[in-house]
Amino acid sequence: MEIYVVPDAPATGVVAAGILAAVVRSKPNAILGVATGSSPIPVYEALAAHDLDMSQLRTFALDEYVGLPAGHPQSYAEVVRREVTERLGLDPARVAVPDGGAGDPHEAAVNYDSAIREAGGIDVQLLGIGHNGHIAFNEPGSELDSRTRVEVLADRTRQANARYFRSLDDVPTRCITQGLGTILEARQLLMVVRGADKAEVLAAALSGPVSPECPGSVLQLHPHVTVVADQAAATHLDAFRQVTLQVATPSA
């Protein structure tokens, strides 16, 4: 596992985008696994600044709410369209998000899992981590070999995501999420973490027991993991050899 520690959130974006850009340069038709939430935003911002041909890329998102109306601004289909597809100038036909509006979301989940496999598997999967240790929407208790499926969101997750909605009541209760087993099949995992409020859970994921109680702990089972953390999130990672990078980020 490689751990890069950088001064701040924009720097996490610069370093992670550099890793993604290297993948795209060596494999222009790479399959990127994209994540939503606040942590990956600086990555997409920094990646957009690279002079890259991304026309052949395919992307698969990690998860989606179940039951939001089509076009809802907080559906991950819309978030991915705004933050990834448009920002990077990707071909929308090559961008996949689980179908949270499907009549049968369980079937949609199974089909999504198959689509990833049929596409050849994800080359590099971008990840954040939730305060409860979730990755994608794999909440504590998720089986380590779980597949893409319908899940019930943890209260803590709904509370954290309420900032994107008018009220907590408007946050959906269910989602479709790639499973932990699905995520582990990506050839490389790239986790981006920022903020002191993530320091404990990041240390638990990387050095605590591998357990469904901390879904992010599955990173320990994967042979090619890169973590990019800001200094605040990295304060509990003493057990690891870390590489500290000074990264110049463009001023806002």
Closest to ligand PGA by CB, 101 vs 128, is 128
230 flagged as catalytic = no
113 flagged as catalytic = no
CA 181 – CA 175 distance, rounded (Å): 17
228 part of the interface to ligand PGA, by CB under 6 A: no
Buried b (16+ CB within 10 A) or exposed e, 144-180: bebbbbbbebbeebbebbeeebeeeeebbeebbbbbb
Query: In three state form, how does the secondary structure of 89-152 look?
Result: CCCHHHEECCCCCCCCHHHHHHHHHHHHHHCCCCCEEEECCCCCCCECCECCCCCCCCCCEEEE
CB 195 within 8 A of CB 85: no
CA 220 – CA 114 distance, rounded (Å): 25
Smallest distance, ligand PGA to C-beta of residue 134, A: 6
Smallest distance, ligand PGA to C-beta of residue 37, A: 3
Smallest distance, ligand PGA to C-beta of residue 39, A: 3
SS3 at position 50: coil
139 flagged as catalytic = yes
Instruction: Enumerate residues 15-54 that contact ligand PGA by CB under 6 A.
Output: 37-39
- For the chain, the distance separating the N- and C-terminal CA atoms, rounded to the nearest angstrom, is 32
Closest to ligand PGA by CB, 81 vs 134, is 134
- Only one of the segments 42-50, 124-132, 176-184, 225-233 lies at the binding site for ligand PGA (rule: CB under 6 A); that segment is 124-132
Number of residues that bind ligand PGA (CB under 6 A): 7
Smallest distance, ligand PGA to C-beta of residue 190, A: 13
128 part of the interface to ligand PGA, by CB under 6 A: yes
Q: Which of 10, 42, 130, 172 binds ligand PGA (CB under 6 A)?
A: 130
Please name which of 144, 206, 217 lies closest in space to residue 181, comparing C-alpha atoms.
Answer: 144
Closest to ligand PGA by CB, 100 vs 130, is 130
Closest to ligand PGA by CB, 111 vs 132, is 132
CA 48 – CA 41 distance, rounded (Å): 11
Interface residue list for ligand PGA (CB under 6 A): 37-39, 128-130, 134
Which positions are catalytic?
Answer: 63, 132, 134, 139
